[in-house]
Amino acid sequence: MSTLTPHTSSSQPYRVIISGGGTGGHIFPAVAIANELRRRYPDVEILFVGANGRMEMTRVPEAGYRIVGLDIMGLQRRLTPKNLLFPVRVFRSVRKAGKLLEEFRPDAVVGVGGYASAPVLLAATSRNIPALIQEQNSYAGLVNKLLARRVNKICVAYGGMEKFFPAEKLVLTGNPVRREIALGDRAEALQFFGLDPARPVLLVVGGSLGARTLNLATAAALPRLQAAGVQLLWQTGKLYYPTAQQEAAAYSSTGQHALEFVQRMDLAYAVADVVISRAGALSVSELCLTGKPCVLVPSPNVAEDHQTKNARALVDQDAALLVSDAEAPTRLYEAALALLGQPDRQQQLSANIRRLAHPEATGAIVDELEKLISRR
C-alpha cells in the first residue's frame, strides 16, 4: 500500500476532495461541508468529484466549486447489458481517481455517498490519505457500507448506525445543511416568486428529481387550491415539469406556480406557511432547521422503508403530519388544506420540529475532518 506525501505545511492552505452525488440528498450536504470549510479557511482549495451525466455536474458549479466527472454508474437491479460494463467502468474510474489524487495532493477526502465516491475513497485509502464518510440516512447506502472499514471516520445523522458501520469510527453529528437555507427573507421571497402577501403559501417539494405521487396529487388539487385562495410553489422535477407547467398555467394568475427546480430554497422556505415533502434525510433536516409545519409523504421506493422511519421520528414528537404514499391521492390535500386553516396548529408543529434540528452538524463534521488532517 503506497502513501501519498501530504502537501500541507504551515504556510499552505488545506486541499480537500469531496466526492459523491446522484441526488440532491448527497449534493447539498457536500456543498454545505465545502461552504463551512471555505468559511473557516478562505484560501482552502476544494475539488469535487462526481459522476458524468448526474445532477452534481451542474449543481456543484452553480454553488461556485470546481468538479471533475468520472465515467461511473451503479449496478442495475434488472438484468441489462450495462451491467457487463460495470467492472470496466469501476477500474477506469479508480485509475482516474488515482491520477486526480496524485495531481491535486489532497490532505483529506470526504465521501457523501453515491457512485462517484467509491472510486475516490478506494484510491485515497490505498494511498493512506485520511478519508471521512458522511451518511445522511437511517439506513446506510451501499457504497458507504462497502467502504466503511477502509475509511478513518464516519459521520452519521441517526443513532444505532453500528449495525452498518464499525462502532469505533462513528460520530453522531446530524446532517449538514447549508446555513443560508434558514436565512431567507419573506419580503424578498414574496417579490422573487411574485406572490400576494395576504394569501397563504403552500410549498410542495418531491426531492431534487421530483416525486410522481406528489405531482399527480398536486395536479388534481389545483382547482381546490384556487378555490381556497392558496398560492402554490410546486417543485416538480425535470421529468414531470413540461406537463405540470401546462397544468398550472391555467391557475398562474392566482399564484399557483410549477417550477422544475427551486434554486433559492432559502426563499421558498421563508415564504411557505406549510410544506408538503418527501421524507428524505436532507428534506427532514432542512424542515427541522427552518421550523416549517409540514405534511410528509415518505417514498415507498427506498431501502428498508427508511423514509417512513425518518417521518415517524418527527410524528412521534408531534413535529409533523404523515400521509402514506398509498393514501396521498385521497388524503394529502385534505390534510394540507386543513393545516393551512389552523394557525395555532402550525405554530405548535413549528416549535416542535425546531427542537429536532442539528444546526451545528456541518461544523461538527468539519471538526472531525480537521482532526484527521492534523493527525497526519
Distance CA 214, CA 309 (A): 19
Q: Is 3 annotated as a binding residue?
A: no
| 202 three-class SS | strand
Q: At what angle do helices 361-375 and 24-40 cross, to 10 degrees?
A: 70
| Contact (CB, 8 A) for 130 and 350 | no
Distance CA 36, CA 100 (A): 23
Q: Is 307 annotated as a binding residue?
A: yes
Q: Which residues pair with 249 in a beta bridge?
A: none
Q: Is 178 annotated as a binding residue?
A: yes
Q: Is 284 annotated as a binding residue?
A: yes
Q: Is 137 annotated as a binding residue?
A: yes
Q: How far is CA 335 from CA 32, 133, 316, in A?
A: 33, 38, 17
Q: Which ranges of the chain would DSSP assign to H, the alpha helix?
A: 24-40, 56-62, 86-104, 117-125, 142-147, 186-193, 212-228, 241-249, 265-271, 281-290, 306-315, 328-340, 343-354, 361-375
Distance CA 268, CA 233 (A): 8
| Contact (CB, 8 A) for 19 and 111 | yes
Q: Is 208 annotated as a binding residue?
A: yes
Q: Is 23 annotated as a binding residue?
A: yes
Per-position DSSP letters for 261-325, written without gaps between them: --S-HHHHHHH-SEEEE---HHHHHHHHHHT--EEE---SSSGGGHHHHHHHHHHTTT--EE--T
* φ and ψ of 230, to 5 deg: -95, 130
Distance CA 332, CA 329 (A): 6
Distance CA 288, CA 231 (A): 23
Q: Is 175 annotated as a binding residue?
A: no
Distance CA 70, CA 47 (A): 13
| 224 three-class SS | helix
Q: Is 285 annotated as a binding residue?
A: yes
Distance CA 29, CA 208 (A): 13
Q: Per the annotation, where are the binding residues?
A: 23-25, 137, 178, 208, 281-286, 307
Q: Per the annotation, where are the binding residues for UDP-N-acetyl-alpha-D-glucosamine?
A: 23-25, 137, 178, 208, 281-286, 307
